[in-house]
Copies of this chain bind each other. A is one copy, B any other.
Amino acid sequence: MSITAKFEKLGVDAAPGQEVRLGAVAGARMIGEPLSGHPVDFSHGDVDAHKPAPGAFEAFEAGVQAGGAQAYTEYRGAMAIRETLAEQLAAFTGAPVDARDRMIVTPGTQGALFLAVATTVARGDKVAIVQPDYFANRKLVDFFEGEMVPVQMHYAEAKSGAGLDLTTLEEAFRAGAKVFLFSNPNNPAGVVYSADEIGRIAALAGRYGATVIVDQLYSRLRYAGYDYTHLRAQKIDADNVVTIMGPSKTESLSGYRLGVAFGAAAVIERMEKLQAIVSLRAPGYCQAVLNTWFAEPEGWMAARIAAHQAIRDDLVALFRDIDGCSVREPGAGSYLFPELPELSIAPGDFVTALREQAGVTVTPGTEFSPHSGRSVRLNFSQDHAASVAAVKRLAVLVERYRV
């Protein structure tokens, strides 16, 4: 494949955060006047509305003061930081973490995902990918010229759990898929996999000798009434699982761009080899911020969860008030993935109209699945009042453009 052809598949025009590079839509397709209100960018969380836990900046400052020792760490991150973190992650996930040989610090969780896929997927390899799931997953498989085997997640219909089609997943493994990559809680739908689903994924991985890469980025932000099962703590060969996390949107630390991957030693070792030529290491000074992760003051996380649960509840109610709109209540994370009623304009044009006429930025559902054209993703880690007002404006526009 030529470089040009390869990169044409890697479009980022509709990717969250890139709206600034888009031109205006042809005004002719727009109906009615602009709606006034405080603009809300639901394509990512608002770290100004939800501040980081105390101590993050001070930890960074201490890293700068430490000088060369913090600027130049092992490519996989400073050992002292990895050791402290390994204990926290072991307690959180319920299984031991080996700081020396089974953990790597990366530039953001995106960095960890990239390295994990790059080091497990060779050209032509089959990779099971959930639909819908985080948009980069399929792009990574495309980039490494793997063959994506889609596995549907019937989140809307499922009464509990994520609604993963486990029969198709097993078929994918039987057909030769050696890697299964998924996010839990799911991004974009916010649904959490049940203990039964995770147990069956573990059993399938064991039976077929597949590597499972699980992106648990939002697994700390869990709402009342939802249990969470860590795949790595189930009956599964530790060399078959790579878990990815990071202090990001939940903790409002995304500006430091930190991620961590832990699990299969052989994969982690390859990830470090590749990191050496991709970015050398996670930012030296930023790594020091990891010392504050999982070490927030008593009650801080509970308050963060409560604040997000309150926003979630208001937005879910607003979407359910829109005739013909369906949305499943997220069990964890800060994503909401409502399906809108049928509209008179193309979904992409509606997203543009929403941004231009209502100051509301959302991410089109097609970024996450070709079958999610009528859905949009909202990151509701926002100012509470502003996000409620923004979804009300969205509801007005839905009526304007309704078929």
Contact = CB atoms under 8 A, between A and B. Distances in A.
A270 B10 CA distance: 9
Contacts of A24: none
Interface residues of A, number: 65
Chain A interface, >50% SS class:
helix
Contacts of A282: 257
A234 interface: no
A63 B2 CA distance: 39
Contacts of A139: 276-277
Interface stretch (A64-72, A153-161, A194-202): A64-72
Contact of A277 (B10, B270, B280): B10
Contacts of A46: 68
Contacts of A110: 277-280
Nearest to A10: B273
Copies in the complex: 2
Nearest to A266: B4
Contacts of A147: none
A321 interface: no
A294 interface: no
A177 interface: no
Nearest to A271: B7
Given A64-B57, A119-B3, A111 B278 contact: yes
Contacts of A276: 10, 12, 15, 18, 136, 139
A281 B11 CA distance: 16
A272 B12 CA distance: 8
A110 B111 CA distance: 14
Chain B CB count within 10 A is highest, among A20, A61, A273, for A273
A57 B7 CA distance: 37
A79 interface: yes
A257 B278 contact: no
A270 B119 contact: no
A17 B48 CA distance: 37
28 contacts: A3-B120, A10-B273, A10-B274, A18-B75, A20-B74, A21-B74, A46-B68, A47-B67, A48-B67, A57-B61, A60-B60, A63-B255, A67-B255, A107-B279, A108-B279, A108-B280, A111-B279, A113-B277, A114-B277, A114-B278, A139-B276, A139-B277, A143-B277, A254-B284, A255-B285, A257-B283, A257-B286, A279-B279
Given A10-B273, A107-B279, A257-B280, 20 more contacts: A3-B122, A7-B270, A7-B274, A10-B274, A15-B276, A17-B73, A44-B72, A57-B64, A63-B255, A64-B255, A107-B283, A108-B280, A110-B278, A114-B279, A143-B277, A255-B283, A256-B285, A257-B282, A257-B283, A283-B286
6 closest cross-chain pairs (CB), A and B: A71-B255, A255-B284, A48-B67, A257-B283, A107-B279, A110-B280
Interface of A: 1-3, 6-7, 10-12, 15, 17-18, 20-21, 44, 46-48, 57, 60-61, 63-64, 67-68, 70-75, 79, 106-108, 110-111, 113-114, 119-122, 136, 139-140, 143, 254-257, 270, 272-274, 276-286
